[in-house]
């Protein structure tokens, strides 16, 4: 049953406005927790002010730091945040700052700047009396999905020129570390995201049939996302076809046929947070070879989930993955990485997509409150047939806990 934002969301109501802005965001108590956490790290690293850049690439994933401290974002909104160690926070948006002042109660100082980000930074730091000190810029380099960074060269050079007494340092790790462990409220938001995804999957299952196009099915899922209070843009890797086991970023005009697989990595943002689900569907039964693979990845999911306790290392989980695939597949199957990676407000750590830095990644210990998409995949190297299942999970002292509720099995339509 559809649940509305009135039941699960929070809204900011401005008494001076003619009507409330129905825009869900985390609580002010959650804001205050984050501010304390980030400012403790700033104190430890002797950073006087943080600059969190505006960059709405990768379905707004790269806007995570700004949204984490302002609750402003979604639908491609560009937001730069100026976060001093003490004092008021400032958010700059391209325009229509008045709407954003009404839509949230986290930040009072919201300004139009029409993407003149460096001018906004220099102006605001001048108002704060900042002449020299350490400016931490998040996203300078080293993000998993943006190793070259998020900040235009010109923005940094203009800030250097306008504030010659400032030392600019990289604050990417500071923000990534603060965001890695989720609060109870963040986990509730993540669970809501997964519930939206599951509503999208039900809409897909109800609409899927031979004769419709990928685009029609994709549009049905987007409609379900919006009806259940999800946000755009949102990543959807989606594809159809016989023997299909991996999706694409772009839906096509391909017409579905009997025996087709429907597969993908489905996400939905809620308050900016997004879980991820991998749920294969089939227009009719699939061969036993495929259902056997599905059984292997289901067993693999359960074994890894059991071990997702605080203190367990990523390497131990990877070893479990490899062991289960080899045992259940009787040596005939290959495991495919990534087995899992962090999910949340944007580009999250820990995540590993290649061999570089693998030794360090294997040593990373889990902490209670970390959230991941767990998505083991098994492949028969001889036939090239592959299967995958996945859900968003949270690390607890008792092991990993799924945020989804659906059965982890192939949906046969």
Q: Is residue 64 scored above 80 in pLDDT?
A: yes
| Of 10 and 408, the one with more pLDDT | 408
Residue 9's pLDDT is: 45
Q: What is the pLDDT of residues 121-132, one digit of tens each?
A: 999 999 999 989
From the centroid of its chain, how far is CA 24? Answer: 17
Q: What is the pLDDT of residues 130-177, one digit of tens each?
A: 989 999 999 999 888 888 899 999 999 999 999 999 999 999 999 999
Identify the architecture of domain 5-178 in CATH. 3-Layer(aba) Sandwich (3.40)
Mean pLDDT comparison of 50-64, 77-91, 231-245, highest-scoring range = 77-91
Q: Is residue 120 scored above 90 in pLDDT?
A: yes
| Of 238 and 5, the one with more pLDDT | 238
Q: Is residue 97 scored above 90 in pLDDT?
A: yes
Question: pLDDT-based confidence at 250, cuts 50/70/90?
Answer: very high
Mean pLDDT along residues 345-352: 90
Element (H, E) at 367: none
Q: What is the pLDDT of residues 289-309, one digit of tens each?
A: 999 999 999 999 999 999 999
Residue 7's pLDDT is: 38
Q: Is 313 left (phi over 0), alpha (psi -120 to 50) or beta?
A: beta
Question: pLDDT-based confidence at 251, cuts 50/70/90?
Answer: very high
Distance CA 125, CA 129 (A): 6
- Would you kindly state where each structural domain of the chain is located, as residue ranges? 5-178, 184-412
Question: pLDDT-based confidence at 50, cuts 50/70/90?
Answer: very high
**Nearest CA-CA partner of 308 in 296, 319, 316:** 316
**Residue 355 near residue 340 (C-beta atoms within 8 A):** no
Q: What is the pLDDT of residues 271-289, one digit of tens each?
A: 999 999 999 999 999 999 9
Residue 18's pLDDT is: 65
Identify the architecture of domain 184-412 in CATH. Alpha-Beta Complex (3.90)
Residue 16's pLDDT is: 53
Mean pLDDT along residues 384-392: 94
Mean pLDDT along residues 323-348: 91
| Of 237 and 145, the one with more pLDDT | 237
Residue 101's pLDDT is: 94
From the centroid of its chain, how far is CA 3? Answer: 22
Residue 56's pLDDT is: 84
| Of 131 and 212, the one with more pLDDT | 212
Residue 17's pLDDT is: 57
Distance CA 200, CA 144 (A): 28
**Nearest CA-CA partner of 221 in 202, 249, 237, 245:** 202
| Mean pLDDT (the chain, rounded) | 92
Q: What is the pLDDT of residues 368-382, one digit of tens each?
A: 999 999 999 999 988
């Amino acid at each position: 049953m559809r649940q509305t934002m009135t039941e699960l969301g929070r809204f900011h109501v401005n008494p001076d406005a003619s009507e409330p802005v129905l825009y869900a965001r985390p609580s002010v108590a959650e804001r205050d927790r984050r501010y304390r956490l980030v400012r403790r790290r700033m104190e430890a690293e002797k950073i006087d002010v943080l600059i969190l850049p505006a960059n709405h690439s990768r379905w707004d994933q790269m806007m995570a730091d700004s949204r984490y401290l302002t609750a402003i974002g979604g639908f491609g909104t560009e937001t730069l945040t100026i976060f001093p160690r003490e004092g008021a926070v400032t958010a700059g948006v391209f325009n229509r700052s008045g709407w954003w002042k009404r839509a949230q109660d986290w930040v009072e100082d919201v300004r139009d700047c029409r993407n003149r980000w460096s001018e906004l930074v220099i102006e605001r730091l001048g108002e704060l009396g900042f002449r020299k000190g350490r400016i931490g810029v998040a996203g300078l380099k080293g993000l998993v999905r943006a190793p070259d960074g998020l900040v235009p060269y010109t923005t940094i050079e203009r800030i250097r020129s306008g504030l010659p007494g400032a030392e600019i340092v990289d604050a990417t790790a500071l923000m990534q570390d603060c965001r890695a462990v989720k609060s109870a409220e963040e986990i509730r938001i993540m669970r809501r995201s997964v519930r939206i995804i599951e509503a999208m999957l039900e809409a897909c299952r109800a609409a899927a049939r031979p004769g419709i196009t990928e685009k029609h099915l994709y549009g049905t899922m987007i409609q379900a996302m919006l009806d259940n209070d999800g946000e755009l843009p949102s990543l959807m890797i989606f594809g159809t076809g016989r023997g299909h086991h991996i999706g694409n970023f772009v839906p096509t005009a391909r017409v579905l046929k009997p025996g087709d697989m429907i597969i993908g990595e489905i996400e939905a943002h809620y308050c900016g947070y997004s879980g991820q689900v991998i749920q294969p569907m089939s227009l009719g039964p699939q061969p036993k070879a495929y259902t056997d693979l599905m059984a292997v990845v289901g067993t693999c999911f359960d074994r890894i989930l059991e071990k997702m306790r605080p203190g367990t290392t990523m390497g131990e989980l990877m070893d479990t993955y490899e062991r289960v695939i080899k045992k259940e597949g009787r040596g005939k199957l290959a495991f495919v990485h990534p087995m899992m990676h962090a999910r949340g407000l944007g580009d999250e750590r820990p995540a590993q997509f290649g061999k570089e830095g693998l030794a360090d990644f294997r040593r990373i210990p889990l902490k209670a409150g970390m959230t991941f998409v767990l998505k083991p995949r098994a492949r028969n190297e001889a036939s090239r047939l592959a299967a995958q299942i996945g859900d968003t999970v949270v690390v607890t002292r008792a092991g990993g806990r799924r945020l989804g509720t659906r059965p982890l099995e192939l949906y046969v339509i």
